[in-house]
Every structure is written in C-alpha cells, then in structure tokens.
A and B are shown apart, each in its own frame.
Chain A
Amino acid sequence: MSFNVLIVDDSNTMRAVIKKVISISGFKMDQCIEAGNGKKALDVLTDNWVDVIISDINMPEMNGFELLKKLKEDDLLKNIPVILISTESSNERMQDAFDMGAKGFIKKPFTPEAVKKILYEVIGVSDEGEYEGDRGDDEAFDF
C-alpha cells in the first residue's frame, strides 16, 4: 500500500527537501501534494484526500498550529494524522503540538531515517514496511 502525503511549508526548498527525504527513506509515497501555508493546505484538502500531513509551524498567513486547530474542527479532516516539523524543539512547544492533536514531531535538522521512523509510527507501518491496515484478523479465519 502507498500513501498520499501533503507537505505544508512556506519554503519551496524545504518542501523539496522533505519530499526528497521521504523518497530516499523508502516510505511508499503515492501522491505528494504541496502547500505554502496552512490556508493553502485547507484549500488543497477540499479537492484531495491525503493519508498524512507534514507541516511546518512558522508560516505566514496560517501557521502549523492554526492549521491543526482548523483540521480538528472539521469532521471530515479531523482524523488525518498531522506531523509537525520545526526548528523549535522546546519541550513546551512539543507538548503544545501533541496537546493540540499532532501525532508526531520532527525536529530540524533531520535525517531520512528519522523522518521514515516517525512516518511509519504515525501511519501504523511496521519496521518491515507492513501496513497494519493490510493485516487481516488471523483468528477470524482460524477454523
């Protein structure tokens, strides 16, 4: 199974880097959609379904925390896992992110391995690349 990823960052270069790092990591990515801030991400989500959102925190117009709040208020979008990615790494800031519903936090600078690990954890993929949603309930077929 492969996944649609939405990358939200105001820097073109950083979006390209995150996309490249996800590809290098071996994570199975189908579509990669990009947005320059939280507001543009919400626009993108009106026409596209994504499996996970990776968002910067500090962005003009609508930042990562505001985006997270808007997503949680929307019945259709509230269950899409969000990973925040930032240079800010204070314990308080990270706790704020998790309290607001973020499923993961990636600290810049990052390695491809770190990105892959958090993506796998958040989406529910084992280290072997097996998606838990693909696994059947073995007991149900145990005659």
Chain B
Amino acid sequence: MKENMKEIEETMRLSIFEVFEKMFYIFLEPQDDESNDYDMAAAIKFDGFLSGEIRLLLSMDMAKAMIQNMLGLEKDEITTQKMEDCSKEAVNMICGNFLGKFDSTKVFKLTIPSFSMETASIDPGKNACRMDFESDEGSVGVIFDANRRV
C-alpha cells in the first residue's frame, strides 16, 4: 500500500507512460506548465479501497496519432468514433494499470468510460492531482481525483 501522495503520483505517471509506450508507441515528456490545448476528454470512475476518477485530456493531433500508431491507419481513415473508442480504451488501461500497481491485492470496480469532445470543465478540483505531458505528436493531460476509504 502506497501511503505517500508523491508515490501515488509517481505510480500514476509510470502507468501513463507504460500505456502510451506499449499501446500507442508514443513517448511522453512531463511538462511543468499546465496546458489548455485539449480537444477531448475521456473519464472513468473506480471504487474500492480507494475511490475516485481519472480524466484523460487529449489534443486532436495526439488522438489521431494514437489511432494511427495503434491500428496502422491512414489519416483519412480516422473517424470521431475511432477517437472516442481509443480515448476510452486509453483511460481504462491507465486506470487498471495504476490500480494494479497501487495495490494488486485489492479488487476495484471500474465504470464504463465516458467521452466528450469538449474540455470546458477542466478544473481539477481541490484535492485532485493534474499532470501535463507533451510529445512530437501532441498534448496529453491527466486529472486524478481520489479518496481513500477508511
């Protein structure tokens, strides 16, 4: 069990890197400054010993690159439906990967991911942790909000 928030953030960062590298062949660089250059968001809620929500924010270029790399498609073959599918799958994998690394002895319940083509409510909230990343392909943001059950 990881007690420390810094360790939790590090575990989340590792989970994000692993998903992007293994599934999308994209290598992310952490950014110190917060970006608002996002065009879509996918979110998933989890419940168990730790409960909360993970929101994945993507720029249009990044979403397209993820699909192209994952499926080997040409740019003109990319549809909104594919971007939605891909974003939901990515947030699902980040969440599962993080929870497995966080505590593999606990079972968590995950919701079906949701998707939106707008990122108006980007405000992470008081207790949330926000991370921004960049690569040659575009921008990725992750907002992680969790509460521990006592």
Q: Which residues of A contact B (CB under 8 A)?
A: 11-14, 16-17, 20, 58, 60, 86-93, 107-111
Min distance, Cβ B56 to any Cβ of chain A, angstroms? 13
Residues of B at the A interface (CB closer than 8 Å) are 18-19, 22-23, 67, 70-72, 81-82, 85-86, 88-89, 92-93, 95-97, 99-100, 104-108, 110, 112
User: Are B22 and A20 closer than 8 Å at their CB atoms?
Assistant: no
Question: Chain B binding site: helix, strand, loop or mixed by DSSP?
Answer: helix
Could you tell me the distance between the alpha carbons of A60 and B111 in the complex, rounded to whole angstroms? 11
What separation, in Å, do the CA atoms of A134 and B19 have in the docked complex?
37
With CB as the reference atom, state the residue of chain B lying closest to A16.
Answer: B71
Q: A17-B23, A111-B22 are in contact. Are A90 and B97 (CB under 8 A)?
A: no
Chain A residues lying within 8 Å of B104, measured Cβ to Cβ, are 89-91
The one of B72, B96, B106 in contact with A86, judged by C-beta atoms closer than 8 angstroms, is: B96
Q: 18 other contacts beyond A90-B100, A90-B106, with CB at 8 A cut-off?
A: A11-B89, A12-B81, A12-B82, A13-B85, A58-B112, A60-B112, A87-B93, A88-B107, A88-B108, A89-B96, A89-B99, A90-B99, A90-B104, A90-B107, A92-B105, A92-B107, A108-B97, A111-B22
